[in-house]
């Protein structure tokens, strides 16, 4: 990596809110050129205006493979050679057990969390390898390691992200391209509101009585990993609020 983050070109998916928005802001504050990718054009254009000329808004649905290829091939010259890809776009939908869960929800999570991440990564990785520099930062979740009731397919998609990150590291041996997996625990963003489809009361319950992680906490982990010397690869970072821990075994006892 360049000695200064100001030399970087950074592409952030899911940049219209939550982790992605704050990650983009942090890189911009360090002087990097930042490509803001999301479906909500109004939000990323407003963010790009706030960040100034070193930000570029790119309306993009990562689940549309053809659109990903077109959009990334059309980046302005000053933004085209991506140094850092932050695969942040993702979502959880529903909290129902598997036998009652919505197949539509499952398909949308797989499309965004798995296929979307693959499309963007595959589009940008060859350029990183050819230039012998680059860093792929995948935003996964502790749900990919520690299952919980109702987390079924969401957790499975994040386990995919974590395992893919390790697989990329294996494939990239011999090239100066780094891969880091960021695995946050409970964090308060729009994530819960999306999961509960706009039900603000239900969305607030997971955070009751707990000081959760913030988007700023996760952005700090990303910045720290990218800032390491070029010969250092941070494989994974798992972070949780102090008042959260991985669960023990669950038992249902017959009465």
**Residue 110, Cβ neighbours under 10 Å: how many?**
17
Specify the DSSP class assigned to residue 110.
I
Residue 31 tokens, joined: 């002087």
Nearest to 62 by CA among 51, 72, 52, 47: 72
**Rounded distance, CA 157 to CA 139, Å?**
11
Is residue 154 part of the annotated active site? The answer reads: yes
Specify the DSSP class assigned to residue 113.
I
Nearest to 107 by CA among 99, 118, 119, 116: 116
Active-site residue among 119, 146, 148, 154? Answer: 154
Specify the DSSP class assigned to residue 138.
E
**Rounded distance, CA 125 to CA 133, Å?**
10
Exposed, middle or buried: residue 140 (CB in 10 Å: 0-12, 13-18, 19+)?
A: buried
DSSP lists the bridge partners of residue 47 as none
Enumerate the active-site residues. Answer: 154
């Amino acid at each position: 990596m360049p000695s200064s983050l100001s030399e970087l070109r950074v592409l952030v998916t899911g940049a219209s809110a939550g982790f992605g928005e704050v990650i983009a802001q942090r890189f911009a504050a360090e002087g990097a050129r930042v490509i803001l990718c999301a479906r909500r054009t109004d939000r990323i254009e407003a963010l790009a205006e706030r960040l100034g000329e070193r930000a570029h808004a790119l309306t993009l649905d990562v689940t549309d493979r053809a659109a990903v290829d077109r959009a990334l091939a059309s980046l302005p010259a000053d933004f085209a050679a991506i140094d850092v890809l932050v695969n942040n776009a993702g979502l959880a939908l529903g909290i129902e057990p598997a036998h009652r869960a919505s197949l539509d929800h499952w398909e949308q999570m797989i499309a965004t969390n798995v296929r979307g991440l693959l499309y963007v990564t595959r589009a940008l990785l060859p350029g990183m390898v050819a230039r012998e520099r680059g860093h792929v930062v995948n935003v996964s979740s502790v749900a990919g390691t520690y299952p919980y009731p109702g987390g079924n397919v969401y957790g499975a998609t994040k386990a995919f992200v974590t395992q893919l990150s390790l697989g990329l590291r294996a494939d990239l041996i011999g090239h100066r391209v780094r891969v880091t997996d960021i695995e946050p625990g409970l964090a308060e963003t729009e994530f819960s509101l999306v999961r509960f489809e706009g039900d603000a009361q239900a969305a607030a319950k997971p955070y009751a009585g707990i000081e959760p992680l913030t988007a700023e906490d996760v952005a700090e982990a990303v910045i720290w990993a990218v800032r390491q010397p070029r010969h250092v690869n941070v494989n994974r970072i798992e972070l949780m609020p102090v008042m959260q821990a991985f669960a023990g075994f669950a038992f249902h006892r017959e009465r």
